A and B are shown apart, each in its own frame.
Chain A
Amino acid sequence: MAEIMIAMKNLTKAYKSMGDEVQALRGVSLNIDKGESVAVMGQSGSGKSTLLSILGGLNPPTSGSVEVDGIDVYALSQEKRADFRREYLGFVFQQFQLIPYLTALENVMLPLTTIKKSNREKREIAGSVLCRVGLAGKMNRLPNQLSGGEQERVAIARAIVNEPPVLLADEPTGSLDTKTGDEIMALFQRLNQDGLTVLMVTHNPENTRYMSRTIIMKDGQLCTDKAELLQLVSAGKR
């Protein structure tokens, strides 16, 4: 039996928006095995990003619990949760979110900033990760000197430089053309094959081809209706 990497139990999240209470998640329970790759799909406002942020230890749920590798994420203090994020999670954000005044290498070194290693070691680690994502010759370029695909690779390198067991990605191909998007998805697939557990929020049904499982969210809940899933995927293809 596969080892469970992520266990979400009965997650709810409510927040106020313009005076009204919005129920972003309504009792989501989900287990993700170690080494699994999961695509989370759903329409805007379905709760995908909220789920990702809760799983990422950034957004405490109103109720329910999240365990990653057996650690109850929200039982940790805020500062311990920051350490947890650094050690267990890699984030790939929408629109890359690279720091514009740092080079590709420095961006990748960012998660290593607060750990006790010499600058040389940090450079070596970040350099090797950039090579792994195919950016060996562009380490000293600033983000605005890189193409969209290259920026995405830097963002992925930054997410995996600490060798976390879990990689979380929010719309990683949203701002890329199809060809570059496919290359990035292939990279995610390769990382997954190397043992990384991947959870990806995506609007693009094409991306599900690279993932071992796809879940659909609708109105803050997991949708288990296979017909609806097929419908969504085919809608994406059209």
Chain B
Amino acid sequence: MQLYHIALNNILRRKAKMLFVLLGLLIGVATIVSVYGVVEAMRAEMTRQVAKFGANIVITPDAGELTFSYGGITLPAVLFDVEQLTGEDVAAIENIPSREVIRAVAPKLLGLATAGGRHQGDADGQNVVVVGANLQQEFMVKPWLRLRSGEEMRSDEQKASESGTVPSGENAPAAEKEMDFAMLDLAREDLTRLVLSDEQILVGSSLAATLGVMEGDLLTLSGREFQVFAVLKDSGSAEDEQILLNLSAAQALLARPEQVTVIELAADYTLGSEGVLLSELQEALPNVEVTSLRQEALRRDEMITRLVRFGTSVSVLILFVGMLVVGLTMSGAVRERTREIGVFRAIGFRKSDVAKIILLEGFIISVLGGMLGYFVGMAVAYYAGPLLANMSIQVPWRLDLFGLSVLLAILIGLLACIVPARQAAKLDPAEALRFI
């Protein structure tokens, strides 16, 4: 016989009362777990969405008043006499302390070139926007970019052939037939295979249609001949009208060696660490504009902050009520057990032993309440989370929360039992046994 035997037996005997105490703790813990689970899942989803959004920091030369717009980003007018970004600036980014939060660094050079199609007469003299970039990094900051698959290519070619817009067959260069079509079905995770030579280009879908070029065709840009490595899938973005090629190839084509027009960064920062990253970038690149595209993140983070505040308030309130329920119920149970406690004291239990029995009862129920609270809370978060968050979220079963839930329940349960335990310890045994 140990003190915990007494505590355990009493719990089993007063099932209804103890169930009430258990419920108080369970609801408190479950609320906190579910709110925490939902909020964390929302954060994860937002990070995922922000990552999907691609670049979130844009570095441009300090242009003063002379600007033009590229994909919604204001850029300096490259033809004017402003200080250009260079490869050194790109290297400087690699050396900042917060480099590890930057997922991709995508420098690019923008310019205009004169296009001549496979049939020189078709598109002769048309100005096209060429974008020289590190293509793997570019695809990382622009997750919507896809290469047209071999199947799509063949189907498009078929349609074009039927309508007679694009000559095919014997007129197609030999290189087309040698194209590795499997190469065109690049998966996102397989960007390492996206390696172009300086004589190869990617053409936006709309531009390809306008120029009448397809994969494997040759296209002349400002007098230099390039092979169309692939056509980009229609994405509804500015890239549909552009030509992508290696940065070095663009620098040679546009006769702007070492120059870079804009550097886009995809960084996995939270709002708290954003300031640090931006100031580090500004310090590393003192004469440039560093712009954060954080409006969306800010709006969502604000929403989450509000939800956290609301959830925390509700949780604290519920926990407080739970604590009150535990305290009052245990206090009532102590009053009911006056004689029993008198017997304990008369047969030699110290005050501390009596207090320990009450605290042990609180402890046992708290452990149980914490465990059940975790499962109920996670279940609520799992099933009702998407509804509560009004977002498509997946709440994972977080085992690390299990221990925390139990610890929290123990803390609350023991705190609530302090008063009843003191009350029990202070009982006068003579009075309890009605000797006086």
Q: Interface of A with B (CB < 8 Å)?
A: 15, 24, 49-50, 52-53, 56, 58-59, 78-79, 82-83, 85-87, 91, 93, 97, 99-102, 106, 109-114, 119, 122, 126, 158-159, 162
Instruction: Assess whether B433 is interfacial by the CB under 8 Å rule.
Output: yes
Report the nearest A residue to B340, measured CB to CB.
A99
Q: Interface size of B by Cβ–Cβ distance < 8 Å?
A: 28
Contact of B346 with A113 in the complex, beta carbons under 8 Å: no
* CB-defined contacts of B436 to chain A, threshold 8 Å: 15, 24, 50, 53, 59
Instruction: Assess whether B157 is interfacial by the CB under 8 Å rule.
Output: no
Task: Report how far A128 CA is from B348 CA in the complex, Å.
Answer: 21
The 6 tightest CB contacts between A and B, nearest first, are A86-B348, A53-B435, A101-B13, A109-B1, A59-B430, A58-B430
Distance in angstroms from A123 CB to nearest chain B CB is: 8
Task: Given A100-B13, A101-B13, decide whether A82 and B348 contact each other with a Cβ distance below 8 A.
Answer: yes
Instruction: Assess whether B347 is interfacial by the CB under 8 Å rule.
Output: yes
* CB-defined contacts of B9 to chain A, threshold 8 Å: 101-102, 106
Contact of A56 with B348 in the complex, beta carbons under 8 Å: no
Task: Report how far A62 CA is from B246 CA in the complex, Å.
Answer: 102
Contact of A113 with B435 in the complex, beta carbons under 8 Å: no
Other 9 A-B pairs with CB < 8 A, given A82-B349, A113-B2:
A52-B435, A59-B436, A82-B348, A91-B346, A97-B342, A97-B433, A110-B344, A112-B1, A113-B353
Contacting residues of chain B (400-436) with chain A, CB-CB under 8 angstroms: 429-430, 433, 435-436
Task: Report how far A41 CA is from B342 CA in the complex, Å.
Answer: 24
Residue of B13, B339, B349 touching A97 (CB-CB under 8 A) = B339
Contact of A111 with B345 in the complex, beta carbons under 8 Å: no
Task: Report how far A2 CA is from B347 CA in the complex, Å.
Answer: 28
Task: Given A50-B436, A58-B435, A59-B430, decide whether A114 and B348 contact each other with a Cβ distance below 8 A.
Answer: yes
Report the nearest B residue to A101, measured CB to CB.
B13
* CB-defined contacts of B344 to chain A, threshold 8 Å: 110
Residue of A87, A110, A159 touching B1 (CB-CB under 8 A) = A110
Contact of A49 with B340 in the complex, beta carbons under 8 Å: no
Task: Report how far A24 CA is from B435 CA in the complex, Å.
Answer: 11
Distance in angstroms from B16 CB to nearest chain A CB is: 14
Residue of A49, A85, A109, A162 touching B435 (CB-CB under 8 A) = A49
Contact of B348 with A106 in the complex, beta carbons under 8 Å: no
Contact of B348 with A162 in the complex, beta carbons under 8 Å: yes
Contact of B347 with A85 in the complex, beta carbons under 8 Å: yes
Instruction: Assess whether B351 is interfacial by the CB under 8 Å rule.
Output: yes
Contact of B1 with A79 in the complex, beta carbons under 8 Å: no
Contact of A85 with B6 in the complex, beta carbons under 8 Å: no
* CB-defined contacts of A109 to chain B, threshold 8 Å: 1
Contact of B345 with A58 in the complex, beta carbons under 8 Å: yes
Contact of B433 with A58 in the complex, beta carbons under 8 Å: yes
Contact of B350 with A82 in the complex, beta carbons under 8 Å: yes
Contact of A113 with B1 in the complex, beta carbons under 8 Å: yes
Contact of A106 with B5 in the complex, beta carbons under 8 Å: yes
Task: Report how far A56 CA is from B9 CA in the complex, Å.
Answer: 28
Task: Report how far A50 CA is from B433 CA in the complex, Å.
Answer: 11
Distance in angstroms from A95 CB to nearest chain B CB is: 9
Task: Report how far A111 CA is from B2 CA in the complex, Å.
Answer: 10
Contact with A along B11-24 (1 / 0, CB 8 A): 01100000000000
Instruction: Assess whether B179 is interfacial by the CB under 8 Å rule.
Output: no
Report the nearest A residue to B346, measured CB to CB.
A91
Report the nearest B residue to A82, measured CB to CB.
B350
* CB-defined contacts of B305 to chain A, threshold 8 Å: none
Distance in angstroms from A77 CB to nearest chain B CB is: 10
Residue of A58, A99, A101, A162 touching B346 (CB-CB under 8 A) = A58
Distance in angstroms from A22 CB to nearest chain B CB is: 9
Contact of A59 with B347 in the complex, beta carbons under 8 Å: no
Distance in angstroms from A72 CB to nearest chain B CB is: 18
Instruction: Assess whether B74 is interfacial by the CB under 8 Å rule.
Output: no
Task: Report how far A224 CA is from B436 CA in the complex, Å.
Answer: 25
Task: Report how far A24 CA is from B1 CA in the complex, Å.
Answer: 38
Contact of B435 with A114 in the complex, beta carbons under 8 Å: no
Instruction: Assess whether B352 is interfacial by the CB under 8 Å rule.
Output: yes
Report the nearest B residue to A122, measured CB to CB.
B1
Contact of A113 with B349 in the complex, beta carbons under 8 Å: yes
Task: Report how far A59 CA is from B9 CA in the complex, Å.
Answer: 29
Task: Given A79-B352, A82-B350, A83-B350, decide whether A53 and B1 contact each other with a Cβ distance below 8 A.
Answer: no
Instruction: Assess whether B252 is interfacial by the CB under 8 Å rule.
Output: no
Contact with A along B318-343 (1 / 0, CB 8 A): 00000000000000000000011011
Task: Given A102-B9, A106-B1, decide whether A78 and B351 contact each other with a Cβ distance below 8 A.
Answer: yes
Task: Report how far A226 CA is from B343 CA in the complex, Å.
Answer: 36
Instruction: Assess whether B49 is interfacial by the CB under 8 Å rule.
Output: no
* CB-defined contacts of A24 to chain B, threshold 8 Å: 436
